[in-house]
Amino acid sequence: MNTTMASGRRGRSLPLAWFLTAHLALGSALGAIVVDPSLPGAFFYHPKMVAVVHLLTLGWITASILGALYIVGPFALRAPMPVRRADWIAWLVYWAGTSGMVAHFWMGRYAGMAWSAGLVVAAVAFVALRVLRALGPSQPRFVVWHLRLAFLNFGAASTIGILLGLDRTYGWSSISPIAVAYAHANLAAIGFAILLTMGVAYRLMPMMLPAAMPQGTRPWMSAVFLEAGLLVLVPALVFRPSLAPLGAMLIVGGFVAFFATMAQTARRRLPRPPALPARDWSLWQVHVAFAWLLAAGLLGLVLAFTPGPNLTALWLYGTAGLLGFLGQIIGGMQGRLVPFDAWLRAMATGVRPVRAAHSLISPRLAALTCLAWTIGVPLLAGGLALGTSWARRLGALVLVAGLTAGVSHLLVIARRAGPIDESTEDAVHTRPQETQCA
């Protein structure tokens, strides 16, 4: 077997490997709640619940983002990312680190968690450098800066988290660990996952609708306001809570700028591809996710202006932002990214595929995925906020059904794309201009 063929097989399966293992991680988190709906308890800050949360944040959200970058890079960002042996090693290192973190959280051994986190940071840094180096000069600068700031925020959030874990073990600081945990969580979720999602959405959503690409200065505002808000909010949560409302308002300003840009983009629609199903369920799931982002922003303002802990709002805020928005938008994006990736890989064989990219989609499985998430997230959010065990268990079960439908959809898409010539498969990662023909 020659090197080109081996490289082709690796390139073909790496994004799918990221997505499938991400589904397994979130399924494990939900399964833990199904088995023991009392696990979350009255407050999330205890070792086992923190382990479950990191199965969501690192196992589902971050892993799915990293896998998607291998598709979005050449498809939407015109950043060639041929998959090599080092990319597979980064995937293995990431999951070794994530597994170690979750296991040590579950056992309450924070020092071990901190060292495992180093593996996660190394893997993310590897993928980040690959993406940022591959971005060409034709890419809008506001997209580039969304990505740059997002990865910088990930590094800062990881540093805070590692120091927090070591402090829980060695007692170096007298600062409240809960306050630091809030700062870490907001910096990771808003500063990394949401900011990066917004930057990619500026290129990807017009392709999904389809519509004209956003222009002008408005797309810059989401990055400017979000980053300014985080620079105020993160230290305020730890040292000066009175400034937290200012940071929250700036962050909401970033959300408003993003929604305004998306609304303007939606008004500049282009003709729909003829093979696209009449009802695009993956896009509907993205719309539902945006509604949860709005809810998360409003709940964040409530928390910022409410003195003292508000556990009900905290549960709703965390679930809305992490599962309602980020969790759902990832599921919706996968439903549209994977068909394009499979179609382009088939195109790389030199023979035009019999099926168009959009005809690879299974409307039934996409509908089941969207429906399960739409029902499951509010059930779980209500169960967590109100301490209702049956709602927690039922919501988690419905979401597991949605994950099962999502995995089935990914596998159906891969099968419908047909056989792939391994000797030319890797070429799709080095010819991003071909994405326009999809």
Query: Tens digits of per-residue pLDDT, 296-318?
Result: 999 999 999 987 778 899 999 99
Determine the Cα–Cα distance for residues 206 and 265; give it in Å rounded to an integer. 7
For 3-437, the fitting CATH number among 1.10.760.10, 3.40.50.300, 3.30.56.10, 1.20.210.10 is 1.20.210.10
Q: Which of 432, 406, 421, 417 is nearest to 22 (CA)?
A: 406
Distance (Å, rounded) from C-alpha 397 to C-alpha 265?
A: 36
CA distance 136 to 333: 23
- Is the model's pLDDT at 399 over the cut of 90? yes
pLDDT for 138 beyond 50: yes
Task: Return the pLDDT at 368.
Answer: 94
The pLDDT of residue 217 = 85
Amino acid at 248: A
pLDDT of residue 121: 97
Is the model's pLDDT at 264 over the cut of 90? no
Measured between alpha carbons, how far is 371 from 281 in angstroms, rounded to an integer?
Answer: 9
Query: What's the pLDDT band for 5 if we cut at 50, 70, 90?
Result: very low
Mean pLDDT lowest among 6-15, 134-143, 370-379: 6-15
Lowest mean per-residue pLDDT among 60-74, 277-291, 394-408: 277-291
Percent of the chain topping pLDDT 70: 87
Average pLDDT on 264-275 reads 72
| Mean confidence (pLDDT) of the chain | 85
Query: In terms of pLDDT, which residue wins out, 263 or 208?
Result: 263
Query: How many other CB atoms are found less than 10 A from the CB of residue 382?
Result: 17
Is residue 193 over pLDDT 90? Answer: yes
Backbone angles phi, psi at 133, to 5 degrees: -70, -30
- pTM exceeds cut of 0.75: yes
Residue 437 pLDDT? 30
Q: ∠ CA 337-342-344 to the nearest 5 degrees?
A: 95
- Specify the pLDDT at position 213: 80
Look at residue 339 and tell me whether its pLDDT is greater than 60. yes
The reported pLDDT for the residue numbered 426 is 44
Task: Determine the average pLDDT of the residues in 97-117.
Answer: 92
Range in 55-64, 115-124, 273-282, 328-337 the model is least confident about: 273-282
Cβ within 8 Å of residue 293, ≥6 positions away: 194, 255, 320, 321, 324, 325
Confidence (pLDDT) at 421 = 41
Confidence at residue 429, expressed as pLDDT on a 0 to 100 scale: 44
The contacts of residue 377 (CB under 8 Å, 6+ apart) are: 292, 319, 323, 324, 327, 328, 395, 399
Comparing 434 with 365, the larger pLDDT belongs to 365
Give the lowest-confidence range in 107-111, 136-140, 349-353: 349-353
Q: How far, in Å, CA of 174 to CA of 238, rounded? A: 11
pLDDT of residue 10: 38
For 360, the token pair is 């690879």
SS3 325: helix
Q: What is the structure's pLDDT at 271? A: 72
Convert the pLDDT of each residue in 351-386 to its tens digit.
566 666 677 788 899 999 999 999 999 999 999 999
Structure confidence at residue 424 (pLDDT): 37
Closest CA to 197 of 303, 106, 325: 325
